[in-house]
Homo-oligomer: A and B are copies of this chain.
Amino acid sequence: MKKKILTGDRPSGKLHLGHYIGSLQNRVKLQNEFEQYVMIADVQALTDNFENPSKITENVFEVAKDYLSVGIDPEVTTILIQSQIPEISELTVYYLNLVTLGRLERNPTVKSEIQQKGYDDSIPAGFFCYPVSQAADITIFQAEIVPVGEDQIPMIEQTNEIVRRFNRIYAVDYLKECRAVLSKSPRLVGIDGKAKASKSLGNAIFLSDTAQEIKNKVFQMYTDPGHIKISTPGRVEGNVVFTYLDAFHPNTEEVNDLKIHYQRGGLGDTTIKNILNEVLQDFLDPIREKRAKYTEEYISFVLKCGTLKARSVALKTIEQVRKAIGVNYF
């Protein structure tokens, strides 16, 4: 039997090349090796967007389109919407008993996110508790493998603590511990070169960008500010164009030749940007074309089927949980 893997995204915007490098390409690979569940985590995204829910809810179908357009195959991967599996909330409520306030306060991921968001004394309880909800996400599908970034490792530890505590208190072995699998790909930098590509920073190339948008973004890319004349040597490190060529150019040797030429002098930014533009257009053209063909009806059908399948798994887990606690009266 294939092991289950759970991944997903907060649907706070359309997906971009950073997502592709960081997770989507991996999911396309893993979907045949594992029983893969990809969750569109709208409930989690609402914990810090509850005052503006349409930002989240309007992106659920968009994210699903992004998934399909890069090759996540709904025939083998189960794509589900978190809010449509209410058993996750039920499990969260039972898990909240197994975690102390102090333990949640010490969670480094939540701690640093609280600082970033500047919540100060007005931390929403839902946001504060989201590691518990995440434990419910993972375990309700009996996922054993969870691909994460390094900052998410405390979440996996929290999940496994809950699993061990649940199994011990209720004398069962039904819930499975999970293993974090770190992504090998480094985070893709934004076109400004300053931080990782992200929607909120406005420095990302989206999977759904038009040819013109892609070209504009490529030509805005940060290169080497010291490389003013074509003839002078240019720097490759920190040069976003080369970072993207490394990530997306199908031919590594050609990229190496370009790097040598650029460092030697004589290769202009316009030339390398034109090359990158061509590479990205070649990469994104078929994705955009595929994406444009999905009707709302089709996406709705895919999400309904995936959610239905996921829910049947969730129901099996919650029935075991209810039985373990003893709240199965009828």
Q: Which residues of B contact A90 (CB under 8 A)?
A: 86, 89-90
Say which residue of B50, B56, B325 sits within 8 Å of A98 (CB atoms).
B50
Min CB distance A316 to B, Å, is 15
Interface assignment of A87: CB less than 8 Å from any CB of chain B: yes
Q: Which residues of B contact A97 (CB under 8 A)?
A: 46-47, 50, 124-127
Q: Is the CB of B123 within 8 A of A96?
A: no
CA separation between A7 and B64, bound complex, in Å? Answer: 43
A146-175 vs B, CB cutoff 8 Å, 1 = contact: the mask equals 000000000000000000000001100000
CA separation between A50 and B324, bound complex, in Å? Answer: 11
Say which residue of B42, B84, B86, B126 sits within 8 Å of A89 (CB atoms).
B86
Q: Which residues of B contact A72 (CB under 8 A)?
A: none
Nearest 3 A-B pairs (CB), nearest first?
A: A96-B126, A57-B326, A97-B126
| A binding-site residues for B, Cβ under 8 Å | 42-43, 46-47, 50-51, 53-54, 56-58, 60-61, 81, 83-84, 86-87, 89-90, 92-102, 104, 121-129, 132-133, 169-170, 300, 303-304, 322, 325-327, 329-330
CB<8 Å pairs between A and B, sample of 19: A46-B327, A47-B96, A53-B327, A84-B327, A86-B90, A89-B89, A95-B126, A96-B125, A97-B126, A99-B125, A99-B126, A102-B121, A102-B123, A129-B129, A300-B329, A300-B330, A303-B329, A303-B330, A304-B330
Q: Beyond the given A42-B327, A50-B98, please list 9 additional residue pairs across the A-B interface where CB-CB is below 8 A.
A: A47-B96, A60-B329, A86-B86, A94-B126, A99-B124, A104-B125, A125-B129, A303-B329, A303-B330
